[in-house]
Amino acid sequence: MIKFNTIILTSLILIIVSCSSLDSLNQSYKNFLPSSYDNIYTVQPGDSIWSIAIKFNLDAELLIQNNNLEKPYTIYPNQKLSLSGGPAKKSAKTVPQLNWHHPLGENSKKVTKDESWLIFNEPKGAPIYSIQSGNVVVSGPDIPGYGNLVMISHPDGYLSLYAHCDKIFVERGDNVAKGAMIAQLGNSEAPYPMLRFQLRKDGKPIRVQNLDSFFKN
């Protein structure tokens, strides 16, 4: 222990000599701390369990359990939350062959897709459907950047996100059936009418190339 502390002390002295600012000294010191220190998050105004889970690619249910939160899972600014489990560095690579409903219909137009998001271009007001039965966990403009958002928790750790909706027909806590109409396509916090859709498994976004043959009406 004495030897280890001597190494750290010597290293810190060298850092102090070489650092040109307090900011660089602070960052260098953090490099000596155990990785568990980075798993503590300070809640910011406007945060929710679900926005934090999306930001760090975490399973919201695990986040709830690790912090002993109880319904309705209210959190407060400056509250410290454990993010143990770590963020997902990559999207989930594979997905089983499941017969789930398409969020808009098989003939909808995909205009953009990246690693983890599908963007559909359809007229404003087009119906949006739940891809599978589940429980609505977000309904409305609760997470900045997504406009009117519907988020549904499905069995086996799946989570579906439907962003930039116009009208929403479900509320938080509702149980919905596969293929149920949950909202209308819109352009809330978007430059034009669109549905930005994502599917997650255990907090990790599923790669969009695995979704091409995933949905079947």
What's the pLDDT tens digit per position in 60-70?
888 888 888 88
38-87: CATH topology: Membrane-bound Lytic Murein Transglycosylase D; Chain A (3.10.350)
pLDDT of 181 higher than 90: yes
Q: How far apart (Å, rounded) are the C-alpha atoms in residues 132 and 199?
A: 11
Q: How far apart (Å, rounded) are the C-alpha atoms in residues 117 and 180?
A: 22
pLDDT of residue 128: 97
* pTM assigned to the model: 0.69
pLDDT by residue (tens digit) across 6-52?
555 455 444 444 444 444 434 443 443 344 445 889 989 888 888 88
pLDDT of residue 38: 56
Report the 10 Å Cβ neighbour count for 140.
14
pLDDT of residue 72: 78
pLDDT of residue 216: 54
Q: 3-state DSSP call for residue 92?
A: strand
Mean local confidence (pLDDT), 193-207: 91
Helix axes 2-18, 22-30, angle to 10 degrees: 150
pLDDT band of residue 213 (cuts 50, 70, 90) is low
pLDDT of 160 higher than 90: yes
110-210: CATH topology: Glucose Permease (Domain IIA) (2.70.70)
Mean local confidence (pLDDT), 190-207: 91
pLDDT of residue 64: 85
What are the boundaries of each domain within the chain?
A: 1-33, 38-87, 110-210
pLDDT by residue (tens digit) across 71-101?
778 888 988 998 875 444 444 444 455 678 9
pLDDT of residue 154: 94
